[in-house]
Structure 1
Amino acid sequence: MHHTEENPWTITSAKHIYTNPWISLTEYQVINPSGNPGIYGKVHFKNLAIGIVTLDKDMNTYLVGQYRFPLDQYSWEITEGGGLLGIDPIDSAKRELLEETGLKASEWTEIQRLHLSNSVSDELSILYLARGLEQFEAEPEDTEQLVVKKVPFEEAYQMVCEGKITDSMSVAGILKVKLLLLENKLG
């Protein structure tokens, strides 16, 4: 069988099911890659997902804890938030870092872009490493009840390895920084 990178799906119709300020849901009638009719639901995200791994001069990182409504459980994560489309993502990252932790960083490095659930959504995440940290006052949104804790980066890495951090952006960001450290690519 010959494989190609061309789209094997044919959309025969689309029906918008739901929309709010953050997402929309569309149901598509399709002809799937095997030639059979079917349906496909797609969640479209109206913002970028932004994640920031912090590293201070002593190799500490800052984790944000909060209760996640969709999961119905508490979650420890890197700093995360949304970035409006059409705005430079680094500006959104700087805003989120200050809002959630009160930190400002003098050094920013984009470390990863990833799709968070490419089987049902088009959500794009951009992950940054923030260094050269300076503490200011946090400015959380009124919908956020956050706990911020400073931990050695190795402890955050162990939390990922032990399944205590399960958020996909946090896992990817922490593992990417660990790899960059092991490869001596952070200087």
Structure 2
Amino acid sequence: MTWHIESERDLYRDKWVHLTTADVLLPDGRHLDHRIIRTAAPGAGLVTVDEQQRVLLIWRHRFITDTYGWEIPQGSIREGENPADAAVRETEEETGWRPRQPIRRLVYTQPSPGIMTSEHHIFRADGADHIGAPKDAFESDRIDWVPLDDVRELIAEQHIVAGTTLVALLLLLVDR
């Protein structure tokens, strides 16, 4: 039972996002007018856990939802860059901490496949070394090592709500 895109029409496009309207043929023969958000590049992020079982997180404001929350560092993969290298680069730029090798794949996720093509490659590192101030200090209000034991409560209090961060941290808790 697959849905098939019969045609698409551009609504908006820039270097970050491409919005289309699609005529989708449903398995029962009906048509659906649907919007599709195509993102420019996949993303990569990193869950860094230290020897004290704390995870490196950034506290940031998301202006679209006007909310604050803890998130893992993540961002776009540059052209020609492999996902693991992008995850390390984003962590260094956003936190000022250099993750220790080896970097291991944790999870691949599509945060909202019913509306967008966004895909995230998430990795894990055990430990990090402080290399200085974050290059992208505007990304967060605070950078901290948060105890893994606090993650469930932070989720319950809605201090961790970003989908990719939720997936990564919950998987980390299950794998403990």
Per the normalisation by structure 2, the TM-score is 0.90
2:95 match = 101
1:68 match = 62
Match of 1:84 among 73, 78, 85: 78
**Secondary structure at the counterpart of residue 84 of structure 1:** coil
Residues matched between the structures, number: 175
The amino acid that maps onto 1:170 is T
User: 86-95 or 136-145, which moves further after superposition?
Assistant: 136-145
Cα distance, 1:17 vs. partner? 0.9
Measure, in 1, the Cα distance between the counterparts of 2:110 and 2:143: 26
Cα distance, 1:161 vs. partner? 4.2
Is the Cα–Cα contact under 8 Å of residues 56 and 143 in structure 2 kept in the other structure? yes
Q: In angstroms, what is the RMSD of aligned CA positions? A: 1.8
The amino acid that maps onto 1:126 is H
The amino acid that maps onto 2:40 is K
1:28 match = 22
Establish whether residue 43 from structure 1 lines up as the match of residue 37 from structure 2.
Answer: yes
TM-aligned CA distance change 1:85 to 1:40, over 3 Å: farther
**Secondary structure at the counterpart of residue 64 of structure 1:** strand
Taking the TM superposition and a 5 Å limit, the aligned residue runs for 1:30-179 are 30-106=24-100, 107-141=102-136, 143-179=138-174
TM-aligned CA distance change 1:167 to 1:75, over 3 Å: same
Cα distance, 1:162 vs. partner? 4.1
Measure, in 1, the Cα distance between the counterparts of 2:28 and 2:63: 38
Per the normalisation by structure 1, the TM-score is 0.85
1:185 match = none
1:184 match = none
Q: Highest CA radius of gyration, 1 or 2?
A: 1
Measure, in 1, the Cα distance between the counterparts of 2:111 and 2:79: 17
TM-aligned CA distance change 1:15 to 1:149, over 3 Å: same
Q: Percent identity at matched positions?
A: 25
| 1:113-164 deviations in Å (ceiling 9; x for gaps) | 0111010011111111111311111333375343111221211243124432
Measure, in 2, the Cα distance between the counterparts of 1:86 and 1:26: 26
